[in-house]
Every structure is written in structure tokens, then in C-alpha cells.
Amino acid sequence: MNRLNAEITAALNDEQIRTSMRNLGVEPAPTRPEVFEAYIRAETAKWGKVIRQASIKIDQ
């Protein structure tokens, strides 16, 4: 995991990649794996609550 994070961070710090991402409306934000994990957990909890409260279902 550390190598993958190092490679992703290196890519996100490359100015050409940063410019390309910004042109797509994305702001590159390299971070540590544990910070990203905490963010994903918080977003999952937040949006899961919204989905349950709104009774959103998948069309099948």
C-alpha cells in the first residue's frame, strides 16, 4: 500500500497531470492512506444516511 500511495502522490505532484486534472474540474489532493480511508468512511456514512432517509432504491 505504501508503494501505491507513493506512486499516486508522485503522479499527483506532476505539474502536467495536475494541469490536466484541473482542466477536468478536479483538484488533485494527494494524502496518506489513513486520511483517505477516514474520508471514504465518513462519506459512506453521510451518504448512506441520506439514501436511507430518502428511501432511495436501485431500479431493477
pLDDT in tens, 17-50: 999 999 999 999 999 999 999 999 999 999 999 9
pTM: 0.65
pLDDT at 46: 98
Distance in angstroms (rounded) separating the CA atoms of residues 27 and 7 = 18
What integer pLDDT is reported at residue 2 of this predicted model?
85
Distance CA 39, CA 15 (A): 25
Task: Please give the pLDDT value at position 1.
Answer: 78
| Terminal Cα-to-Cα distance of the chain (whole angstroms) | 36
Domain ranges of the chain: 2-53
Neighbours of 11 (CB within 10 A): 14
Sequence letter at residue 8 = I
pLDDT at 14 over 90: yes
